[in-house]
């Protein structure tokens, strides 16, 4: 059995090889990474983030951050739009906000977006594409469905299953643009959250609060738990919009944030028990850092 001293020496040697750029197979054996968003107190992306601006822990243990770099992987975004009866008065704002989001994302590179509506049932309106004109045309044909409730949670599961089949090199995102109308999905909240995590996706929710369900049913409470846990633990954001006029600004802000993310590469020593929880924070008081809280593989 190797002595404690020999194990320490092995770790030091491995860290030295990583710094010197030695054998790729060996150098990357203990490297892990997490995608994060870094914004200021106004919610705007922060440029020039470096190693010294961040602190990362796994199960409470500080990990050495090796480098911070721009996340350049293509975005793969499932955009879920509420077209239930509750969204009737916000249809124009939802359309314009969605088109601004689509045009900002697609113009920035080889990113793909799919459109899914959630009123009455989960419906794939446009499969993943980088064609901004096709996406905008599909958005213009979205209308609120009379007397229809939402199947938001079913749509999130469908979006997660679709993303799970896509290449793992993509930055997978689920973006929900919704009111607080009636929910008719009957799935368990943990089932939805597990589906998001299996897909390796990050969930974001833009919630218009001017329309709310007439009574808070168990389905609505389940949806609220998913919106909380699903966004918070995957490194996403959840915005409560107080007016229809806020939709366009919120969707544009989210698009800019996604286009300005960082990949944080850190060192994890070899260990038998893999960590479960990850936390990352800014060391500066003027920044907020969002990243997933599950350590993963």
Q: Please, what is the average pLDDT of the chain?
A: 89
104/39 same-domain check = no
Instruction: Write the Ramachandran bin of 160: left for phi over 0, alpha for psi from -120 to 50, otherwise beta.
Output: alpha
Burial class (CB in 10 A: 0-12, 13-18, 19+), 236: buried
In the chain, the number of structural domains is 2
Strand-pair partners of 180 = 212
Mapped onto helix, strand or coil, the DSSP state of residue 64 is strand
pLDDT confidence of residue 211: 78
Residue 20 lies in a domain: no
Of 296, 249, 288, 293, the residue nearest 46 (C-alpha): 288
| Residue 212 binned pLDDT confidence (cut-offs 50, 70, 90) | confident
11 within some domain: no
The CB-side HSE value for 260 (13 A sphere, CA atoms) comes to 20
DSSP code per residue over 69-127: EE--SPEEEEEEE--SGGGGGGHHHHHHHHHHHHHHHHHTSS-EEEEEE-BSS-EEEEE
Q: What is the pLDDT of residues 146-192, one digit of tens each?
A: 989 999 999 999 999 999 998 888 899 999 999 999 999 999 999 99
Identify which has the larger pLDDT, 178 or 1.
Answer: 178
Q: Does any domain span residue 246?
A: yes
- 156 and 36 in a common domain: no
- 5 within domain boundaries: no
In a domain, 86, yes or no: yes
Torsion of CA 206, 212, 217, 221, to 10 degrees: 30
Does 227 lie in the same domain as 82? yes
| Residue 233 lies in domain | 75-258
Rounded distance, CA 157 to CA 265, Å?
30
CATH of the domain at 189: 3.40.50.410
Weakest mean pLDDT among 151-155, 161-165, 208-212, 230-234: 208-212
Note whether 125 and 142 are within 8 A (CB).
Answer: yes
Q: Tell me the pLDDT tens digit for each residue of 67-126.
A: 999 999 999 999 999 999 999 999 999 999 999 999 999 999 899 999 999 998 999 999
Tell me the C-alpha distance between 255 and 253, whole Å: 5
pLDDT for 216? 83
Are residues 279 and 239 part of one domain?
no
Do 67 and 114 fall into the same domain?
no
**For residue 199, is it within any domain?**
yes
**Could you identify the residue written with the tokens 């509420």?**
82
Tell me the C-alpha to C-alpha distance, in Å, between residue 77 and each of 88, 236, 253, 254: 24, 13, 15, 12
Q: How many CA atoms lie within 13 A of 297 on its CB side?
A: 5
Tell me, yes or no, whether 103 and 59 share the same domain: no
Rounded to two decimals, the pTM is 0.88
Q: Are residues 59 and 80 in the same domain?
A: no
Cross-sheet strand order for the sheet of 31-39:
278-282, 54-58, 61-70, 262-267, 31-39, 288-291
Are 243 and 277 part of one and the same domain? no
| Of residues 246, 261, 116, 259, the one with CA closest to residue 176 | 116
> Do residue 247 and residue 269 come from a single domain?
no
In a 13 Å sphere around the CA of 75, the CA atoms on its Cβ side amount to: 31
The verdict on 166 and 37 lying in the same domain is no
Are residues 41 and 135 both part of a single domain?
A: no
SS3 label, residue 276: coil
Tokens of residue 116, six digits: 């899914």
CA end-to-end span of the chain? 26
pLDDT at 2 over 70: no
Are 150 and 241 contained in the same domain?
yes
pLDDT tens digit string along 32-58?
Answer: 999 999 999 999 999 999 999 999 999
């Amino acid at each position: 059995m190797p002595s404690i001293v020999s194990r320490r020496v092995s770790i030091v040697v491995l860290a030295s090889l990583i710094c010197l750029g030695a054998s790729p197979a060996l150098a990357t054996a203990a490297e892990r990474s997490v995608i994060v968003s870094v914004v200021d107190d106004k919610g705007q992306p922060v440029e020039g983030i470096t190693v010294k601006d961040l602190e990362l822990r796994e199960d409470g243990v500080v990990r050495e951050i090796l480098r911070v770099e721009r996340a350049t992987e293509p975005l793969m975004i499932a955009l879920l739009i509420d077209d239930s009866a509750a969204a009737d008065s916000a249809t124009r704002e939802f359309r314009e906000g969605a088109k601004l989001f689509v045009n900002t994302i697609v113009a920035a590179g080889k990113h793909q977006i799919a459109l899914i509506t959630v009123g009455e049932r989960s419906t794939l309106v446009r499969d993943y594409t980088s064609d901004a004109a096709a996406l905008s045309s599909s958005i213009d044909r979205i209308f609120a469905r009379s007397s229809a409730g939402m199947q938001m949670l079913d749509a999130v599961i469908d979006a997660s299953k679709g993303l799970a089949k896509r290449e793992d090199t993509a930055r997978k995102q689920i973006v929900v643009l919704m009111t607080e109308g009636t929910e008719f999905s009957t799935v368990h909240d943990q089932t939805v959250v597990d589906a998001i995590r299996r897909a390796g996706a990050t969930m974001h929710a833009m919630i218009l609060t001017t329309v709310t369900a007439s009574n808070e049913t168990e389905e609505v409470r389940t949806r609220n738990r998913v919106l909380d846990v699903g966004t918070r633990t995957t490194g996403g954001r959840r915005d409560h919009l107080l007016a229809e006029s806020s939709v366009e600004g919120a969707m544009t802000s989210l698009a800019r944030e996604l286009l300005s993310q960082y990949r944080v590469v850190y060192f994890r020593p070899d260990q038998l028990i893999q960590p479960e929880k990850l936390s990352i924070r800014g060391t500066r008081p003027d920044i907020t850092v969002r990243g997933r809280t599950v350590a993963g593989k």
